[in-house]
Chain A
Amino acid sequence: MQRISKNWLIHLLLISGGIIMALPFVWMILTSGKTLVESTQIPPTWFPESFQVSNYQAVLNLLPFGAFYLNTFLMVIGRVIGSVLFSAMAAYACARLRFPGRDLFFALVLIQMMIPASIFITPQYLLAQRLGILNSVPALILPGIVSAFGTFLLRQFFLGLPSELEEAAHLEGANVWTIFFKIMLPLAKSGLIALGIFTTLFAFKDLMWPLIVNTSIRQMPLAAGLANLQGQYATNFPQLMAGSLLAIWPMVAVFIIFQRKFIEGIATTGGKL
């Protein structure tokens, strides 16, 4: 009996919280079906009189979504591979290897996170210019190719793993690379996937950088491309919401698929010892 009432309470808590969480999202969906006049009512209306699919059609006609999706895909892949791989390496080094300068390096990692990102924009632009990659996909990948955030995150993960495993493997003659690749990475899978999700997320939401470093609309990823829907004085909100939904559904899909992966189906950690 106790278990049932506890579950009931948990559901209640989660649902009430969930409503507040989902509200803007529901608003986006509803607004994407409104007419322009409906969306500017005061007080705001909730439901459109009839769902205007034309908003979606208009947005798809106005903007090169194909190019947006492609650019975003490439940008995400580039950033995820780079940041997960390089962060895992650096994180493992900070967590388990001993060498002079390790703590200095980690301090730099932390310092990067403490600096407001707007500082980086102009210097990174100049760097991209010098590398000759302005207005291209590599420019989109550039700021995300290494990740201080990822390094710190994965360091915590590696530190949380029992060191007996490594000692055992080392006794059997494995070198650092083997230990890293064959033992530690699989164990830190949930951390790697979490980092992958976050990197994808940051890449998706990056607005300022793509707009600054790329000039033609065909080189834009989704978020930046959508900014073209925002006029200086007036914005067609229904269209903007339709466009935003078209832009984020891949992100939601990625999350739905991967959250299962890293919650369930992960080998027990250290339990086999």
Chain B
Amino acid sequence: MKNRMLGNYQKDHLFWGYLFILPTAVGLILLNIWPAIQTIILSFQRTIGFGNTEWIGLANYQKLLTDREVLQSLINTLIYAVVSIPSIIVLSLLVAVLMNKKIKGVSIYRTIYFLPVVAAPSAVAMIWRWMFNDDYGLVNELLSKIGLTGPAWLSDPNVAIYSVIIVGIWSAIGYNMVLFLAGLQEIPKDYYEAADIDGASLWQQFFQITLPLVTPTLFFVVVTTVINAFQVFDVIFMMIAPSSEAMLKTQSLAYLFYKHSFILNDKGYGSAIVVFLLCIILLITALQMKLQKKWVNY
């Protein structure tokens, strides 16, 4: 009897499996995968304009490898990733855990922490640019009150990237807080009640119950945060003037792609840059998928 059931299961799976993935698969291929393939092809070409292209083989890639700007952008992107990713994950998880408790006014807190996500990008840019302003910004004013002189947050080439990172972290917390909150709902409350009865402290409960059981969502957050960090563009676009001195040491690979493809009209080279970026992200994500089994509890 067991064999017959397994046999049915397989057929059932085949039919429903393909049916279920059909709409998404069709959509993704038409809307996303096909354009991606076109972009890869474009990276081996030189664009003359409006769909007219010329095949130049690996020339774009050769140029890429010797382009100082590309190398610097790669470094900028790595700095951004290394600093922002752990910060975002730890802070969002912390906030979500706090928001999951029955504290007074928790709904209000949740809404407040979600606000950055809905605020107009222009408002966000204005406020942070004001806070970071060298002359009259809030940050430097507060620092001067404790006797420190703050740097030129947005125009000093060595500091600008960190300012951008701060805004990036700030923008991402509300987002990931919602994701973690949803994931935390999957953990049965009985576990916590039992732990309370057993006298476990909050720390212990966090590390022994919460953390292990939120790993599926944590995995999602880690993967998406990594991808988003490597693709960082919006926050740089908003905060740093394109002709600014600081741009060279702040612009990410995604920003460089945008600059070449849409402003300097060199879609071939821009495509090569984005393919390069894609390979990096692909490698890291593939690595994460492999390591999944080691720490994620399904």
What residues of chain A have their CB less than 8 Å away from a CB belonging to chain B? 6-7, 10-11, 13-14, 17-18, 20-25, 27-28, 31, 42-44, 86-87, 89-90, 92-94, 97-99, 102, 105, 108-116, 118-120, 122-124, 127, 142-143, 145-149, 151-153, 156-157, 159-161, 170, 175-177, 180, 190-191, 193-194, 197-198, 201, 204-205, 226, 230, 235, 237, 240-241, 244, 247-248, 251-252, 255-256, 259-260, 262-263, 266, 268-271
Contact = CB atoms under 8 A, between A and B. Distances in A.
Given A266-B185, A269-B186, A120 B216 contact: no
Contacts of B217: 156-157, 160
Given A10-B98, A119-B274, A252-B111, A160 B298 contact: yes
B122 A111 contact: no
B282 A118 contact: no
Given A17-B113, A268-B188, 9 more contacts: A10-B103, A18-B113, A99-B17, A110-B223, A119-B35, A124-B31, A191-B182, A259-B107, A269-B188
A89 B14 CA distance: 14
Nearest to A241: B123
Given A105-B25, A111-B36, A161 B186 contact: yes
B58 interface: no
Interface of B: 5, 9-10, 12-21, 23-36, 38-39, 95, 98-101, 103, 107, 109-124, 126-128, 130, 135-136, 170, 173-175, 178-179, 181-183, 185-190, 202, 213, 216-217, 219-220, 223-224, 227, 231, 233, 254, 257-258, 261-262, 274, 277-278, 281-282, 285, 289, 298
Contacts of A102: 17, 21
Given A21-B170, A248-B119, A109 B278 contact: no
A148 B98 CA distance: 29
Nearest to B14: A99
B135 A43 contact: yes
21 contacts: A13-B98, A14-B109, A25-B123, A28-B120, A44-B136, A87-B24, A98-B17, A102-B21, A110-B289, A115-B39, A118-B261, A152-B223, A157-B216, A176-B12, A177-B16, A190-B185, A204-B118, A255-B114, A259-B111, A259-B181, A266-B185
Contacts, number: 263
A108 B224 CA distance: 15
B128 to A, nearest CB: 8
Contacts of B219: 156
Contacts of A31: 123, 126
Contacts of A27: 123, 126-127
Nearest to B102: A264
B122 A240 contact: yes
In the complex, the 9 A-B pairs of residues with the closest C-beta atoms, listed nearest first:
A146-B27, A43-B136, A123-B35, A99-B17, A244-B120, A89-B20, A160-B216, A194-B182, A93-B20
A6 B174 CA distance: 23
B36 to A, nearest CB: 5
Nearest to B257: A116
Given A20-B170, A160-B217, A268-B188, A248 B126 contact: no
Given A109-B24, A115-B278, A259-B107, A93 B190 contact: no
A219 B38 CA distance: 29
A94 B21 CA distance: 8
Nearest to B12: A176
Contacts of A123: 34-35, 38
Contacts of B183: 156-157, 160, 190
Given A157-B186, A176-B16, A191-B182, A90 B24 contact: yes
B31 to A, nearest CB: 6
A92 B118 contact: no
B13 A114 contact: no
B201 to A, nearest CB: 10
Contacts of B9: 170
A146 B126 contact: no
Contacts of A143: 31
A118 B12 contact: no
Contact of B100 (A151, A244, A263): A263
A23 to B, nearest CB: 6
Nearest to A254: B118
Contacts of A194: 178-179, 181-182
A268 B185 CA distance: 8
A130 to B, nearest CB: 10
Contacts of B19: 89
A104 to B, nearest CB: 10
Nearest to B115: A25
B224 A113 contact: yes
A105 B188 contact: no
A263 B178 CA distance: 10
B187 to A, nearest CB: 8
Contacts of B29: 108
